[in-house]
Amino acid sequence: MKFLENVSLKEYNTFGIDVKARRMVVVEPRDFLGFAPPAVGGQWLDPQGKNLVLGAGSDVVFTRDYEGIVVLLANFHYSFSYMEQSLISAWGGMSMDSLVRWAVEYGFYGLENLSAIPGTVGAAVVQNVGAYGVEAKDVVERVVAYDMEQHRTCTFSNADCQFSYRDSMFKHHPGRYLLLRVFFRFSPTYTPNLSYKALEALPHDTAKEMRDSITALRWQKLPRPEEHGSAGSFFKNPMVDETIYNRIKAEYPDMPEAHKTADGYKLSAGWLIDKAGWKGKTLGRVGVWPQNALVLYNTGGCTGSEVVAMADAIVADIESKFGITLTPEAIII
């Protein structure tokens, strides 16, 4: 466990927003394992419960300095991955993409469609990340977390996690759970998941080919992190009822096919924002990515308030043009 004070968070959020944390604690697997681990008891936490768990910071927008304690999971690569009863487990602070790469390489199949997702394994669970036909909820078996209120570790089954679209129970208890270890189901045989139509036309005969195709596809639509900060998809795709869907479809026959679920029709936020003319626009030091209207990016030195101002302007415009309220996928702090 490492304690730091007055730390710039610029390197700890993928938007690259320069705010400070009053205190930061960097934790490692060994802090929670073994006999009488130092983490137990929680004396290292903020006495008022102002704790913020940060993974790779790929889904957060900081609008001000953080006054409590930022808990950062050190990025341990392979050291915590192993196999147990048809499950692979990984340390919550491991990069999700390293885990996927490792799984593909060693023949643990089922995660390959989640290739190139930024962020940590723990964050993938909290956000129920999803891409190209697979969501975290489809592959997570159970999660071991440290409860920072009760000061003990506990295990959550897939059902306990209450997954829904880009959401989980953990997201509703910010600062309470530190996701230490995630167990994923895998298949020993590779069956390509082609539910995302564009994949059919791309190489996918092996899991490695699928991973490479998906990685290339993602990077066509997202800014390079070393060039421009962003948080990936900024908004969730909105769910609407049949009446709204039919109204918009009648007005815009070119709208992409909506995904019908039990909760309604999931429209494409990127298409709505694009249709409203936002692609490539900037407001202050925040831009709408020219290759994907769902992505807001830092044109250089932007603040969290500028990101929020851009997001608010887009939300208001989409409301007035389509009568739909977009909600951010990114967490605003």
Q: Closest approach of Cβ 292 to ligand EPU, in Å?
A: 5
Smallest distance, ligand EPU to C-beta of residue 286, A: 16
Q: How far apart are CA 96 and CA 94, in angstroms?
A: 6
Residue whose structure tokens are 């930061």: 24
58, 168, 213, 233: which is the annotated catalytic residue?
A: 233
**Pairing label, strands 295-298, 286-288:** antiparallel
Q: Rounded to 10 degrees, what is the CA torsion of 274, 277, 279, 285?
A: -130
Q: Min. distance of Cβ 39 from ligand EPU in angstroms? A: 30
Specify whether 58 is catalytic. no
d(CA 333, CA 324): 24
Residue 9 zone, left/alpha/beta (φ > 0; ψ -120 to 50; rest) = alpha
Cα end-to-end distance, the chain, whole Å: 24
Give me the catalytic one of 23, 101, 142, 166. 166
Q: Which is nearer to ligand EPU, 99 or 330 (CB)?
A: 330
Q: Is 164 a catalytic residue?
A: no
Q: Which residue number, 13 or 237, has a Cβ lying nearer to ligand EPU?
A: 237
Q: What is the DSSP string of 36-53?
A: S-TTTT-TTS-TT--EEE
Instruction: Provide the minimum distance between the beta carbon of 103 and ligand EPU in the complex, in angstroms, as a whole number.
Output: 18
Binding residues for ligand EPU, per CB under 6 A? 131-132, 196, 221, 232-233, 236-237, 256, 268, 270-271, 274, 279, 292-294, 329
Pick 208 or 221: Cβ nearer ligand EPU: 221
- Smaller CB separation from ligand EPU, 46 or 329: 329
- Catalytic residue list contains 168: no
β-pair type (20-27, 140-147): unpaired
The answer to whether 30 and 72 have CB atoms below 8 angstroms apart is no
Q: Which segments of 91-206 does DSSP mark as H helices, in order?
A: 96-106, 121-126, 136-139
* Residue whose CB is less far from ligand EPU, 39 or 294: 294
CB of 252 to ligand EPU, least distance (A): 11
Query: 209 vs 274, which CB is nearer to ligand EPU?
Result: 274
**Number of neighbours of residue 327 by Cβ within 10 angstroms:** 12
Least Å from the CB of residue 133 to ligand EPU: 7
Structure tokens at 63: 């609008």
Give the nearer residue to ligand EPU in terms of CB position, either 181 or 279: 279
Would the CA dihedral through 103, 108, 112, 117 be positive or negative? negative
Q: Least CB distance from residue 275 to ligand EPU, whole Å?
A: 7
Edge-to-edge strands of the sheet including 51-54? 2-8, 20-27, 66-73, 51-54
Count of C-beta atoms within a 10 Å radius of residue 150:
10
Residues catalogued as catalytic: 166, 233, 329
